Chain A
């Protein structure tokens, strides 16, 4: 089974600060980590490999330092790593990102399954997994909390829902996005760390993936981040008293000007 796992390097959420002057995220001195949901996707891929054989290739689109999370993934059981990196990819929204990732994956040696975390903790869109599946023209299931079997080119799984779960079967090749309930990711192994240290990581740039320059980076993005700000919570509050009917009336009066 050939498995591709898409991983993203994100700032550690425990340590997010906004620069009060520019209102952008202060990246200096903030530790970068592998997106936590992607750790679960990687773990599931490694478990599938251990059960069914095959290979796990991790792919990350990002700046050169994203190589760190690729090495971490190799130390946790991935076999190969590909960095998709080019200055021209900068500023990509999910539309341009899925295009870029799809072009990069098409350059690889085929796949049976693509695994992604359900979302990245920096952008929180949850769009890249499904968008990538559409670009690759393969089926996908999101919010997967358990893989129950792989047989005859069909993967059986549980999809987490608000009020329980769905049992779903999906033909391969396909794409899954996973939730954290799916597994407990392992820590790196010593042999894995040594392998990761010496592994050469393939880098694919815009030319290498034969990308249309108008479809990548900022020019290829349909959305732009215009402003980032920290919301201010004002400490105003009011307690309504009286009977239920009285309180409802008071509340209606408060809300009326906003309707």
Chain B
């Protein structure tokens, strides 16, 4: 698990201040971001609108990542579930890619593998970046059932994953703002940590914004 709070070159160029200053002066950050990002970041044309291309950071299986930089967290899920937690005040967020609802022996080394331990780990990760408790919101996606013939000892692992994630979120009073779960297709999830926009894309071209 990597938690990055360092300010990249790009952000320093945009805002012209250090990471500490940026975190304090939140209002300036938002104003500057909306005005200056498109001019400094290379732009790509996607469809009709021109959007600034943010750096994409890939999150691997059973991994999580908390970012305060303006980046997009990307992951691919089948029967796994991606949990996107967002802090609207500090404009940062984290993504965890969980594999199983629960399990692991005592002293297991990968908390982000399981739904029940990934949610607390993600909250802790965000708190380390923001240095304070704040109200978080969540969006989840995944839990597909792709191979109908795949016989598992525990049937419908996707459904169980989603159920476990929802329970873990509820236990910590985190509001679920959006979900795209179930079905038979895999999903590619891109989570913009600044504006909490989650785009779920499946290979057959269906794109959904949460």
Q: Do A and B come from one complex?
A: no
